[in-house]
Amino acid sequence: DWEMTMKGPLGLDMGRVYSIPVACILAHAISGNSDVVDGILAWLNLYWKEYSDTMTKKSGQSTNFLCKSYRNAMAWLGWKLYAISIFEWFVPFLPIESGDVGSLKESVGVVGFTLMKLGFGEGGEGLTVDELHSRLSTNVVTESRQAWRALSMA
| Global pTM exceeds 0.75 | yes
3-state secondary structure (DSSP) of residue 73 = helix
- Is pLDDT of 149 > 90? no
The one-letter amino acid at 131: E
Q: Please, what is the average pLDDT of the chain? A: 89
The span from the CA of 123 to the CA of 102, in Å, is 28
Per-residue pLDDT of 76-92, as tens digits, reads 999 999 999 999 999 99
Please name the residues in contact with 100: beta carbons below 8 A apart, sequence gap of 6 or more.
30, 31, 151
pLDDT exceeds cutoff 90 at 113: yes
Cα dihedral: 32, 18, 112, 4 (round 10): -140
Q: How far are the Cα atoms of 15, 16, 17, 52 from residue 68, in angstroms, in the given order?
A: 13, 16, 17, 12
pLDDT at 7: 73
pLDDT by residue (tens digit) across 6-58? 678 888 888 888 999 999 999 999 999 989 999 999 999 999 888 888 888 87
Residues 95-105: what's their mean pLDDT? Answer: 93
